[in-house]
Amino acid sequence: MKLTTAVLAAGAAVSLTTAVVGATRLRQDARHQAERNEAFLTGNQLDWLAQVSTSPDLAKLSAPEDLDVKEYMELLAANRLICMLSVRDRLGFVRTGHLPWHAAKLMESDACRRYWKRFGGLRAEEAQGDEQAEHFTRVLDQAAKNRPPAQRPAA
């Protein structure tokens, strides 16, 4: 092989390697930016839920007409707990196979069960097309169905 051919081949190999590394880096940067955006939006949502679930004046602004403001605030507080679990799951902080246990613990709360009964269908619609969100929603739905309704004390 001539020296010029070897130099050209080596140059082409270096160029190809640089292009592959560059493309990989661009994909990684885009993925990290998407993760940062999701974390920012999630933080905003959790902050909004914290404020609206503790302020009757703010809750009045967005409460459905058929819901009492106090009830709406309780449901939003339950939604905040569900969202926090969702974030932990999405970020990989819920160990494999432990999501059903966490979901069952959430559904021990009457407010979480009431929230899920009222808004679980909406959450399922929002999750469509996102495999991880669909799985999360199915697990919470199953936990809600497995939890027997609270027994009222005998008078």
- pLDDT 10s digits, 10-30: 777 777 778 777 778 888 888
CA nearest to 149, candidates 116, 120, 122: 116
Kindly report, residue by residue over 58-88, the tens digit of the pLDDT: 999 999 999 999 999 999 999 999 999 999 9
User: What beta strand segments (E) does 6-97 contain?
Assistant: none
Distance in angstroms (rounded) separating the CA atoms of residues 15 and 11: 6
Whole-model pTM: value is 0.77
pLDDT interval class at 1 (50, 70, 90): low
Instruction: Mark 13-43 as b/e (b = at least 16 C-beta within 10 Å).
Output: eeeeeeeeeeeeeeeeeeeeeeeeeeeeebe
What pLDDT is attached to residue 111? 96
